[in-house]
Structure 1
């Protein structure tokens, strides 16, 4: 029986080639989009789930209140882990202190490579259940030990033995390799962690940590933990809430630090906080693309529904005969479902080919490393279910509609689909274009928001500015000589050092006071320690006062503010004002335009620059604009190699790093653009098919009209008007929905564009033009047909 159904379905497909090609093309593209998005969703939703204990691993975070605004951060005082272990140890299996993952130089003999690594307490490898290639997870017990990833081991030692070898970190810390672990998955928070060393080594190398006068005040480390068995996360989180508040000094209690636990399952998808409330994060993109995938597939299914029901009169006689000879309605329903499922199966096979071709580009845009799991039985099982589901979705309306025909009317020749039979088809066409237009509006607004932020004045000159981390002691000790030789070489025009790059914030400090400070105000500012030449290197814009000067000894206590800091302090005459930091007085000598150092979508944070001849760990260099960049970099490499032999010259372009701030939105925009184009294409396929069918149905009517003197234009208008009205209805629905949806999305940004009517008008004009062009290909063809051919049978 099933074989018979499939045979008939196959014959129907071959008999109606245009109908079949349109449906197969639409379904294959729709299924390819849905499957691609499905792969992306799987990658996002399984983030960090490769760790066996992911459901019990947490990160210790804190809320702090500054001037009435709650700030949420992952950084903690370095004493946090010990305090939690001491007081609440029974609730945790592990509590681990950690530094941040940063780039370092690992060297072995004459080979030096840049690798990302961090420092952890010994329980960290066990907490993550690292899969070991060599050694054990207890490799961080010794202070001078290191565990490295499998790829790092191969890079240094090839197929040789790595355990027991001596590596140097930043050309100064010798460590023995005690373990090699498998590279961590790309869809994990620790992707790219290529080596780890003991936290004790970090403490011994950074003596300033143990010498801090107030260690509970500074937040510069991370704390991870794993809950004990049968412990409730919410209960433990409430227990430790005041662990910091109970330890800070009395004057710092005003910041009201509230500690809490954030589960690993939410690190990636729920990482956006606003005033102490979680606002989601990437989960919003997951929902967005999930909905897009469903709708694009639905558009393809609509094509099948429309074309199947439009051909109802042609198939009515088949249904009537089948019912007359004894077929039950359920058998007819099964027959039509078998046709739609066969189409879905063919579309699925083609979609796999389309995905294989598109996946490299998709990965590049999405920043993923996904592969088609063709060897996974689960993938094929899910694929089969997907085919059946698509077949049922596409064939549901045609199956129940066509199987409902009454054989008496059909065989008597009195069956007509009727005026109302076209209403569902028209509604589905409206739905198709409504979705397509909403996607277009969304894509254009995303790109407008990106451009709005990119056009924002950044307050300094990004082009030609590079920075180099002082990753070794040699670079730190030879700053002055390297600076002088770099300028003398002509490769750069200025060199400075700073405690953070100009497009990043490394420290927000409090404890600042000034005359006229409002009672209850909390003086927290971004603080950047720089050398005197910093302003010349970044070419900031001075609006009041002057820049730092080496010629003035008093400038050792000088301070430069940005406009936001002046506004926050309410300084009417900032130049000469005294700002105190922990009792130490600084004199304001200059005010500069706000520099965008954090998100380009947010207001600029108040910032202070102070002179610290030895405090910066970053070389900031302005390349000579009169020399080729490649030649300048080669000269700089030679200068650095003199004083940092055997270590690669690693630099970053500030403008390139600034562009990275737009990466997330650009990915959303590009993916949305591609999906919008495909949605429009699928919708136009449906319009093309419907127009073809209508032209075929009205062949004789068109012939008669031409004989009676109708012009090609009047016939084109006759054929196009109905479809144009449907598209106009779709626009009327899509515009307010699209406007509302993008207003909601834009509310995520403090610095944002508006949903302007020029974009709405452009979208409407484009959608209508595409629709009319699609319809016209068939309307004009029908209008140009020789009436002698169409009326010959009469």
Structure 2
């Protein structure tokens, strides 16, 4: 019986080869896109899920900056000390900061790694299992270090267990004793470290210096809201700032803050592409239903005869659903093959690391669920419609029944094009916004500048490096800076000037650099000449925004201000420039000639001599065992800041193409079937003198009306969504009618090609042959 059914099904598919091909390919492309998007969503949601409980929170510091509230995922040491003792519900507090320079040497080998200074309770917050040693005494000795299992293997090989304990490592000209090896942090964690060094207690740090990532673990009965209130009351007498606690699980997806509150983040993209995934799968199902219903008239007589000779409606419904499931099964197999083959290219295009989970039983259970649900969605409605007519009326009319009516087909076809147009608008607008951010004038010249983070040893030799670079022929200019002009600078309210009122709470960014900063980055000076502005003892240059706050350029120039308790003379005023990412507006800035606090070196090489400059920067970190390549191009580093937005545009573009392919395949299938169904009518019209244009209008009128409706719905929906998304950028593009016109022109051109193709087909209709048949 099964073989008979399969033979019958194959015969049916052979009689409708084109529709079967369109159905299978459309559904498999939709399912492959669905699987890829679900893999990405699953990866995003897997971040920070390795902790067994939800009682770990990150401390976020809210502080007022020039009339607005900013949030920092770091805080100061005096505030940290106020969080633990005496606060009900707090089980442990741990704080960390990055270690500058991560080149570790041991046993004749070296490895570049990212490590942290950490307080003693770090392993109470993140209880990574210790594979060697114990967490209790891991960070009690300032000369101790604990390393991850991956770093241990890189340094000591696979038999690291017998070699690493109590061994000595060299890091930044200092030796540490290995006191333990912990299990490496999972890949999908926002917190990770290759090693931990005990935190040196510094009692003299300013309360406004937010240098530490801080995590709090609450006991099971504690309320996070109550703990936040208790801490804020406790620190109210120390500072004007406040803190909030964000669950560790939420950090990756809810990374944005607005006015001191969590305001979305990557969760927006997760939700968007989750919806897009189901849209793409739905479009494949819509194609299937449309083409199944459209082709149904060929089978109405067959089904009518079966009904008359005794077949029940339930039997016929089951037969049609089974036939549909065969198509769905073939599509699932093809979609899995497509996913496996395309993942490497998609990973490269989107800078992702998605993997095909071939060994995961949960994945295969998910695929089984997709198969069952997709089969039901794609087959139940057509099967019920195909068996809902009266057999006698079909056989008496000598023609197929009109199955499904025009309404449902129009609605489904319109929905397909709405989804396609919506994703096209997202891709087009996000690409424009990213291009705007990449091309925006930052107020300095970011082209052809190479930077490198200095090790603590290199910071001590800044004067020698400066003298050495002065004699290099490949250097146009060089400078040292405490900021990379990407991740921002410390903010402080500890600035005083003549005329400042007690109620003034303005906070200033402070950038430590040298006298060649303005020249190297080609910052525009409003007063003085590049280099000459640094002529006085403790000289500072301020930006235009800071000058306005201090009474104006004329009033503050050459006057004394107090920064961190030090008297400084304002010897120059620079035009406003973006010294952090374009996610933040320009703040008032103080540039101090104090290179000993610098962390970065920047070189502007002579054009054509870039390789020499790179070789010099590499040499700074070179040792007997090899070299480190930690230099970076300023322009490239700025470009990577907007990777999420760029990937949003790429994903939208990629899946809008998929949507168009699915929609156009359905469009082709429905138009093709419409022409086949109306071939006799077209032949008669041609005999009576109908023009080519009139016949094309008859064929395409309903389809084009649906496309116009889809466009009219997609434009306002897209505008509201995209305008809301763009509002998060201080610097943004604005949506103009042209923004919506260009994608429509592109889609209109594709539709025109379809119409042109079928116009040639209609032209070849021979009325004599058609009417004979």
Structure 1 residues 444-498: Cα deviation after superposition (integer angstroms, max 9, x where no partner): 111111122222211112122122222132x123222222223323232222222
Q: CA deviation at 1:782?
A: 3.1
Shift of 1:720: 2.9
For residues 398-451 of structure 1, give each alpha carbon's deviation from its aligned partner in whole angstroms, at most 9, with x where no partner exists.
Answer: 122112112221232366645981221122111111111111111111111112
Aligned to 1:261: 245
* Mapping for residues 98-113 of structure 1, pairs under 5 Å: 98-100=96-98, 103-108=101-106, 110-113=108-111
In structure 2, the partner of 1:206 is none
For 2:50, the equivalent position in structure 1 comes to 50
Q: Match of 2:451, SS?
A: strand
Residues 630-641 of structure 1 correspond to what in structure 2 (within 5 A)? 630-638=611-619, 641=622
2:596 pairs with 1:588: no
- Distance between the aligned counterparts of 2:360 and 2:541, measured in 1? 60
Cα drift, residue 791 of structure 1: 2.3
1:294 aligns with 2:275: no
Work out the CA distance in 2 between the residues paired with 1:128 and 1:3.
59
Decide whether the 8 Å contact of 1:434 with 1:734 is kept in 2: yes
In the alignment, structure 1 residue 621 sits paired with structure 2 residue 603: yes
SS at 1:241 equivalent: helix
Residue 561 of structure 1 corresponds to 542
Q: Is the Cα–Cα contact under 8 Å of residues 164 and 176 in structure 1 kept in the other structure? A: yes
1:96 to 70, 81, 94: 94
Secondary structure of residue in 2 paired with 1:421:
coil
C-alpha distance after superposition, 1:82-101 (max 9, x if no partner):
4333112x623322121147
Compute the displacement of 1:324 (Å): 2.3
| Distance in 2 separating the partners of 1:518 and 1:93 | 42
Alignment gaps of 5+ in structure 2: none
**Could you tell me which residue of structure 2 aligns to residue 28 of structure 1?**
28
Q: Secondary structure at the match of 2:405?
A: helix
* CA separation of 1:582 and 1:476: change in aligned 2, threshold 3 A: closer
The within-5 A match list for 1:358-437 is 358-413=342-397, 417-418=401-402, 421-437=405-421
Distance in 2, matches of 1:102 and 1:7, equals: 71
**Of 115, 136, 157, the match for 2:113:** 115
Give distance in 1, aligned partners of 2:38 and 2:455.
Answer: 42
Aligned counterparts, 1:157-168, within 5 A = 157-160=156-159, 161-168=163-170
Distance in 2 between residues matched to 1:224 and 1:562, nearest whole Å: 35
1:567 is displaced (CA, Å) by 3.5
> Match for residue 72 of structure 1?
71
The residue aligned with 1:494 is 477
Q: In 1, are the aligned partners of 2:621 and 2:628 still within 8 Å (CA)?
A: no
Q: Matched residues in 1 for 2:617 and 2:42: separation?
A: 45
Could you tell me whether the CA contact under 8 Å between 1:546 and 1:589 is conserved in 2?
no
Distance in structure 1 (CA, Å) of the matches to 2:551 and 2:760:
70
Q: Of 134, 147, 169, which residue of structure 2 is paired with 1:136?
A: 134
Matched residue, 2:672: 692
Say whether the 8 Å CA contact 1:75–1:220 is kept in structure 2.
yes
- The range that moved more, 706-715 or 334-343, is 706-715
CA pair 747-322 structure 1, distance change in 2 beyond 3 A: farther
Give the structure 1 partner of residue 303 of structure 2: 319
TM-score by length of 2: 0.94
Instruction: State yes or no: 1:670 paired with 2:650.
Output: yes
Name the CA distance, whole Å, in 2 between partners of 1:645 and 1:379: 45
Summarize the Cα distance change of 1:317–1:228 in structure 2 as closer, same or farther, 3 Å threshold.
same
Q: Provide the secondary structure at the position in 2 that maps to 1:72.
A: strand
Shift, 1:275, TM fit: 0.8
Paired residues of 2:618 and 2:631 also in contact (CA < 8 A): no
* Superposed displacement of residue 383, structure 1: 0.5
Secondary structure at the aligned position of 1:107 is classed as strand
**Structure 1 pair 632–99 and aligned structure 2 pair: CA distance change class (3 A):** closer
1:351 aligns with 335
Shift of 1:382: 1.0
Distance 1:776 1:514, change over 3 A: same
1:505-527 residue CA offsets vs partner (Å, 9 max, x unmatched): 13111111223435622131110
For the residues of structure 2 that align with 1:158 and 1:320, how far apart are their CA atoms?
75
CA distance in 1, matches of 2:26, 2:732: 36
Q: 1:219 aligns with which of 178, 187, 210?
A: 210
2:294–2:403 CA contact under 8 A, matched in 1: no
Does structure 2 retain, via aligned residues, the 8 Å contact 1:719–1:779?
Answer: no
Residues 1:307 and 2:305 aligned together: no
Distance 1:451 1:639, change over 3 A: closer
CA separation of 1:694 and 1:271: change in aligned 2, threshold 3 A: same
Matches within 5 A, 1:443-454: 443-454=427-438
CA–CA separation in structure 1 for the residues paired with 2:621 and 2:549: 41
* Structure 1 segment 574-613 matched on structure 2, within 5 A: 574-613=556-595
Query: SS where residue 558 of structure 2 aligns?
Result: coil
**Closer/same/farther in 2, CA of residues 568 and 24 from structure 1, 3 Å limit:** farther
Structure 1 CA distance, aligned partners of 2:647 and 2:118?
33
Q: Which residue of 2 aligns with 1:279?
A: 263
- Comparing 1-10 with 180-189, which one deviates more in the overlay? 1-10
Distance 1:332 1:748 in 2: 55
The alpha carbon displacement at 1:374 in A equals 1.1
Do 1:146 and 1:175's aligned partners in 2 also have CA atoms closer than 8 Å? yes
Confirm or deny: 8 A CA contact 2:93 2:216 kept in the other structure.
Answer: yes
| Residue 687 (structure 1) shift | 0.3
8 Å contact kept, 2:105–2:169: yes
* Aligned match of 1:701: 681
Between the aligned partners of 1:646 and 1:698, the Cα distance in structure 2 is 76
- The alignment's TM-score, normalised by the length of structure 1, stands at 0.91
Q: Residues 197 and 583 from structure 1, CA distance in 2 versus in 1: closer, same or farther, beyond 3 angstroms?
A: closer
Q: How many residues end up aligned between the 2 structures? A: 768
Please give the secondary structure, in 1, of the residue aligned with 2:71. Answer: strand
Distance, in Å, in 1 between the alignment partners of 2:460 and 2:78 is 30
Mapped pair 1:657 → 2:637: yes
2:236 equivalent to 1:241? no
* Secondary structure of the corresponding residue to residue 543 of structure 1: coil
The equivalent of 2:203 in structure 1 is: 210
CA contact (8 A) 1:168 1:175 kept: yes
Deviation (angstroms), 1:292: 0.9
Residues 700 and 80 from structure 1, CA distance in 2 versus in 1: closer, same or farther, beyond 3 angstroms?
Answer: same
Specify whether residues 461 and 173 from structure 1 end up closer, same or farther in structure 2 by C-alpha distance, changes over 3 A only: same
Partner of 1:742: 722
**Counterparts of 1:588 and 1:551, CA distance in 2:** 9
Is the CA contact (8 Å cut-off) linking 1:562 and 1:606 kept in structure 2? yes
Offset at residue 60 of structure 1 (A): 1.9
